[in-house]
Amino acid sequence: MTELKNDRFLRALQRQPVDRTPIWMMRQAGRYLPEYRATRKQAGSFLDLCKNAELACEVTMQPLRRYPMDAAILFSDILTVPDALGLGLYFEEGEGPKFRKTVRSEADLAALNSIKADDDLAYVMNAVRTIRAELNGEVPLIGFTGSPWTLATYMVEGGASKDFANVKGMAYDKPELMHGLLSLLADAVADYLAAQIRAGAQAIQIFDTWGGSLSAAGYKEFSLKYMQRIISRLQADSDTQNIPVIVFTKGGGQWLSAIAGCGAQAVGIDWTTDIGVARGQIGDSVCLQGNMDPSMLFASPTRIREEVAAILAGFGHGSGHVFNLGHGITPGVNPDHVTAFVDAVQELSPQYHQAD
């Protein structure tokens, strides 16, 4: 494949010297961009957009045309695996993702499809290959998945939830059933990520969006354990073992040491964790990714620049930091404020790498 022209992001993930702190944004291809909204309208629906390799490539490239990001991220959805398992994913305007079927019994679990990612999620691999070709080595491509626990929350609840009553009830009252579902998901996700890597993904992020809803013991038992299982499988395969993995648990700041031990090269942190504290705890063993509050992008460009400066100073000198938001960008953000954000990271971060 084409030689990578900008490997700053991949070097930072391995805590190798870089000339400045690399930057990308979660949901950087999204509704805050008018060109994205136009392309989604052209596609007809969000799922149709995900399943059209050319249009998925187009929206992946859109933020790179506006901003000098150091990585692209595959345009897809975390719920592709549960959809392939046969639950019938659909989206209702203003309500988010929903499933036509749920998994709440042994019979429901047994009824799930047996899937092979290369075949049943071929549209994702087609998108990865199309994007890699379009990138032409300019920046690396990130593949991704939802964590088994996060996928399970949607599969058991049937959609988004505020209290996670059904899925947490299953975890605590029927742990054998929950572990059966999580085991199935961990194996399916490992296969899915390996297929993305074979198709051309150069780094992987595991989005553990709802891990922070669990207790400390519950997090280790029902979330972290299964992400570690996925990473172990990838590291045991010669085709995938050299691809860096980022684990991002929203609300996981209290478990940083445990997360850092899961085998990932990088730990994403949300905006509720002080990055200096995080570096003091785990920064000698993993790269840190984050962690500006996404809502800061509603502030003035001057205030955004001040916040970027504070986060860079909080992390301090040296490599091992990928600048990102502490969660996905909010749809209503002014794209010009993203320009101020990216420019600030590019202009202010080199001083922290001068002796690297």
Q: Is 202 annotated as a binding residue?
A: no
Q: Is 318 annotated as a binding residue?
A: no
Active-site residue (options: 27, 37, 66, 198): 27
Q: How many CB atoms lie within 10 A of CB 296?
A: 19
Q: Is 305 annotated as a binding residue?
A: no
Active-site residue (options: 31, 37, 66, 129): 31
Q: Is 261 annotated as a binding residue?
A: no
Residue with token string 């047994």: 110
Q: Please confirm, yes or no, whether 163 is among the known catalytic residues.
A: no
Output the CA–CA distances (angstroms, integers) from residue 117 to 120, 123, 194, 208, in the order listed.
Answer: 5, 10, 9, 20
CA 170 and chain centroid, separation? 26
Q: Please confirm, yes or no, whether 270 is among the known catalytic residues.
A: no
Token digits for 240?
A: 């995938």
Q: Please confirm, yes or no, whether 154 is among the known catalytic residues.
A: yes
Q: Is 154 annotated as a binding residue?
A: yes
| Omega within 30 of 0 (cis) for the link into 52 | no
Nearest to 73 by CA among 88, 61, 81: 61
Active-site residue (options: 7, 8, 15, 77): 77
Active-site residue (options: 32, 36, 154, 226): 154
- Contacts of 162 by beta carbon, 8 Å cutoff, 6+ apart: none
Q: How many CB atoms lie within 10 A of CB 100?
A: 10
3-state DSSP call for residue 97? Answer: strand
Q: Please confirm, yes or no, whether 100 is among the known catalytic residues.
A: no
Nearest to 112 by CA among 182, 51, 30: 182
Active-site residue (options: 37, 40, 129, 198): 40
Q: Is 209 annotated as a binding residue?
A: yes
Q: Is 77 annotated as a binding residue?
A: yes
DSSP conformational letter for 20: S
Q: How many CB atoms lie within 10 A of CB 332?
A: 9
Phi and psi dihedrals of 261, rounded to 5?
-90, 5
DSSP conformational letter for 284: T
Instruction: Please give the radius of gyration of the chain, using alpha carbons only, rounded to the nearest integer.
Output: 19
Q: Please confirm, yes or no, whether 77 is among the known catalytic residues.
A: yes
Task: Point out the annotated binding site for substrate.
Answer: 27-31, 77, 154, 209, 327
Residues labelled as active-site residues: 27, 31, 40, 77, 154
